Amino acid sequence: MTITIPDSTLEKANISPSELLIEVAVYLYDKERLTMGQAKRLAGLNHIAFQKELAKRNVYIKLDMEDLELDLKNLELLK
């Protein structure tokens, strides 16, 4: 599916296409409609950059099973 938003609408909203994707990704993550991994891919950001965007908007990180498993895997690699 492709969604088309006219340039004039983005201009009136004073937002770039990439900024809009970040806003949508953060919103869907905050509403628990997307996982952290899904949201950061939608936003086109790496993990740290997406976390910084969450912090700018006072959105707290929600740990789900996917995130917890990744964190545990990373901890094992550090041993």
Query: What's the pLDDT score for residue 62?
Result: 84
CA distances from 58 to 4, 6, 32, 54, 61 (A): 29, 29, 15, 6, 10
CA distances from 49 to 23, 53, 54, 71, 78 (A): 13, 6, 9, 17, 22
Residue 12 has pLDDT above 90, yes or no: yes
Q: pLDDT tens digit string along 14-71?
A: 999 999 999 999 999 999 999 999 999 999 999 999 999 999 999 999 877 887 888 8
Query: What's the pLDDT score for residue 48?
Result: 96
